[in-house]
Chains A and B, each alone.
Chain A
């Protein structure tokens, strides 16, 4: 018992000593769910980290840990990072939420930022991007380009963010093509190329000629390319190595400006716990180059839709929209409020199947 106490205080002292030593530099930590080379989600966060380094040069020091499993292991990694004197820590996956809150309560002087989360505290901010705006543009292109009228969707986990994406893509695909049908496969992973490839192949075998994905690898693109006439979209990063076909466009995550602003706030001592949810208009969501494989008029419509979303003239969820069971969700002209969107756990009318729970 005594030894443990002694060791704990020794570790604490060490931690304090390190943070005291590192006081001249602001230390920013990043915890990633996948490898930095995933070519998707984690890759874009790491681009953000590099932008922070480029912006502040010697005034900051960044550290990152990749491939951190969601759950208890994340807590260990976060504790380690905080003990090593990090001033600001970004945890970049939904599943790090509990761990972030737990560790934040033990290190009140360290600032935490949890991506796509909903739990906040005095030293925990949340931030996310309105990916559903990108999904709207993607859905429009998908609906316009499908010839079999079957669109395959590789979904990761049944959480509001993923469901929101499915709904937004479906809504806009349906507007472009009333006969469109969605086939949804849940793979329960953010990043597992073998599983994603299998899911893409299963969807293609069932007649899907457009594959949308909410997982982070390029494996579905490889499957689409092998099939020959199947369209795919970049997820999180541009995935331009598969352009101009099968990858015809992409939803881009642009974290750099936010990371730079938050690091600046810590340096200035103006950091406060906030909930940020930025979209196309703030530049946190981008649309990757629409290639020439897309017909010119579809491209023009897609860009017009993007512009309307950017200026705020149009909201991706504008009524009339019914829920899957046929009950009214949004009346004609009504716009979805952020609270409902943030907690979305239902499909809209027309999507078949049930959301697993």
Chain B
């Protein structure tokens, strides 16, 4: 065993990369659930975002255009969920699961011609002095722009929910859609926008995997990240900063267990492999002991006539 070979600075830097896809998807889903909609299709929207982003950036040669395309792709797929649950009033759980299955299939189809292709590299932020600072440099100042976008988004969502009128209306719709409707808010319209936002975020998260973290396209490459994001939202008690903490914790342990293995730690590999899931759930369960509960209208179908 040689723990000294694990470099804590590089570890933190790479855990941030490993956490970003989950964080993006979780923040999107958090808004959706705050609006009272349970969309289980995160995995599907992520994988569609992954292939849309990959294909578009390969065709245009620009990763940024790819990310925009990924957000649009994720949002388009989520619009299917809008039609099903907000207009056709279908069951949200069933529609969400269908969205995941559909997304996985659709992405395989779209990705036929992109297997084994190399995407254009995403430029890293490279600030002349800051990036060269000894410890802070690699951790804070030498990532790709999307990673910073994820953190900014978390802050923005937190501020929006806590301090703004828009946040208040969103929460009202999620807590009691009948009351919100009686006050004259357009429940369906607000929920539609929330779902589209969630789709766009999930799409970005997926593209982060296919364009930066791996970077390559393969079928089913999100490998369950969407489900982890979904679970994070619940365990984080619908609070943005806790979602960030959970994502970093999960990413951190995922990266850590590989480092421990490489350093020759004599813990059986199977325990190391399951540790990210166990520890993330444990920590967030302890955190969520403050009884903050789910939005009261979560998963309930709204129709103005009821």
Contacts and interface: CB of A to CB of B under 8 A. Distances in A.
B264 A194 contact: no
Contacts of A241: 116, 118
Given A188-B273, A205-B14, A207-B5, A193 B264 contact: no
A35 interface: yes
Contacts of A222: 118, 214-216
Given A37-B115, A193-B221, A198-B18, A184 B10 contact: no
A126 B259 CA distance: 37
Interface string B248-277: 000000110011011110101110010000
A197 B213 contact: yes
Contact of B216 (A188, A199, A207, A219): A219
Contacts of B18: 198
B268 A356 contact: yes
A353 B264 contact: yes
Contacts of B10: 205
Contacts of B7: 205-206
B266 A186 contact: no
A185 B218 contact: no
Interface in A166-193: 183-186, 188, 191-193
B270 to A, nearest CB: 7
A203 B7 CA distance: 11
A183 B264 contact: yes
Contacts of A208: 262
A194 B213 contact: yes
A217 interface: yes
User: How extensive is the interface on chain A, given as a class?
Assistant: 35 or more
A103 B147 CA distance: 49
Given A188-B273, A192-B223, A353-B264, A201 B14 contact: yes
B10 to A, nearest CB: 4
Interface residues of B, number: 33
Interface in A199-227: 199, 201-203, 205-208, 217-219, 222, 226
A24 B171 CA distance: 69
A186 B272 CA distance: 10
Contacts of B266: 353-354
Given A37-B116, A352-B264, A205 B259 contact: yes
B212 to A, nearest CB: 10
A279 interface: no
B116 A218 contact: yes
A85 interface: no
B11 interface: yes
Contacts of B214: 193-194, 197, 219, 222
Nearest to B10: A205
A212 to B, nearest CB: 13
A192 B222 CA distance: 10
Given A194-B221, A198-B18, A186 B254 contact: no
A201 B266 CA distance: 21
B6 interface: yes
Contacts of B254: 198
A183 B260 CA distance: 10
Interface in A123-165: 152
Contacts of B218: 35, 37-38, 191, 193, 217
Interface in B201-225: 209, 213-216, 218-219, 221, 223
A202 B262 contact: yes
Contacts of A234: none
Contacts of B221: 192-194
A39 interface: yes
Given A188-B269, A193-B221, A194-B221, A206 B115 contact: no
A353 B218 CA distance: 32
Contact of A183 (B209, B263, B270): B263
Given A188-B273, A206-B6, A206-B7, A217 B216 contact: yes
A352 B1 CA distance: 8
A241 B118 CA distance: 9
A311 interface: no
A35 B266 CA distance: 34
Contacts of A183: 262-264
Contacts of A205: 6-7, 10-11, 14, 259
Contact of A199 (B258, B263, B268): B258
Interface in B69-126: 115-116, 118, 121
Interface of A: 35, 37-39, 67, 152, 183-186, 188, 191-195, 197-199, 201-203, 205-208, 217-219, 222, 226, 241, 352-354, 356
Interface of B: 5-7, 10-11, 14, 18, 115-116, 118, 121, 209, 213-216, 218-219, 221, 223, 254-255, 258-259, 261-264, 266, 268-270, 273
10 contacts: A35-B218, A193-B214, A194-B213, A198-B258, A202-B255, A202-B261, A205-B7, A205-B259, A222-B118, A222-B215
Given A191-B218, A198-B254, A206-B259, 14 more contacts: A37-B218, A39-B115, A185-B262, A193-B214, A197-B213, A198-B213, A198-B258, A205-B6, A205-B7, A205-B11, A206-B263, A218-B116, A218-B216, A241-B116
